[in-house]
Structure 1
Amino acid sequence: MRFLLSIVFSVFILLSISTGIVLSQPMDLDAGSQVFSQNCSACHAGGNNSVNPAKTLKIDDLSKYGKDSIEKIVYQVRNGAGAMPAFDDLSDEEVFNVAKFVLSQSRSDSW
């Protein structure tokens, strides 16, 4: 049992380190909204996608394209893909907050 707990703990630590943020950070949806407005809304206003209309920020599309978790959204923001640039100038806190904001908006169907 002790061995199993150490494996689970180790995996959690590795995941926390590999994302570059601590997953227990409190979310700040207002700060995430501000980061979104300043950096994302030009292409993703209202949760849409002006470059690729099939890939919106609505929960069905996020799920369909494997972007329906905080970690995956953080990765997308940090690394970019396709026409989306990497936002490596944002702090870890800003990226975490915008990821929480996007997922919160999507899950509550608030776009």
Structure 2
Amino acid sequence: MKKSVFLATLTLTASAAVFSGAVSANEVFDKNCASCHKGGGNIMNPAKTLMKDSLDKNGVATVDAVKAIVTNGKAPMPAFKASLDEKQIESVSAYVIEQAGKGWK
């Protein structure tokens, strides 16, 4: 019994250590996206912001649609498939949709 409790504790500790080293979606956004999209805006094209109504209007109001743009880019936005891994792309895309739903508050 003691051995299984020790192994479970060791496993949880290792998982927590790995998780704590992960970068949050907010951090990925701040590092890679905020220079153009701070607060859900768009300095390159103010008509195509990350606000919910704009995402809806432009047909990118789903996580999958945002993932496609983050992954492959869409001029003038560069592709991030070489600099972000799949988990980061997934999490930052979900973050964009979540923040759009909150009005970027």
TM-score calculated relative to the size of structure 2: 0.75
Cα drift, residue 57 of structure 1:
0.2
Map of 1:104 onto structure 2: 98
Corresponding residue to 2:87 among 78, 87, 93 = 93
Length, aligned pairs only: 82
- Aligned letter for 1:109? G
Measure, in 2, the Cα distance between the counterparts of 1:53 and 1:95: 23
Corresponding residue to 1:72 among 44, 65, 78 = 65
Measure, in 2, the Cα distance between the counterparts of 1:69 and 1:61: 12
Gaps spanning 5+ residues in structure 1: where?
1-29
- Considering only aligned residues, what root-mean-square deviation do their CA atoms show, in Å? 1.1
- Aligned letter for 2:88? E
Gaps spanning 5+ residues in structure 2: where?
1-22
Measure, in 2, the Cα distance between the counterparts of 1:109 and 1:46: 9
Cα drift, residue 31 of structure 1:
1.0
Measure, in 1, the Cα distance between the counterparts of 2:100 and 2:47: 15
Structure 1 stretches (4+) deviating beyond 4 angstroms? none
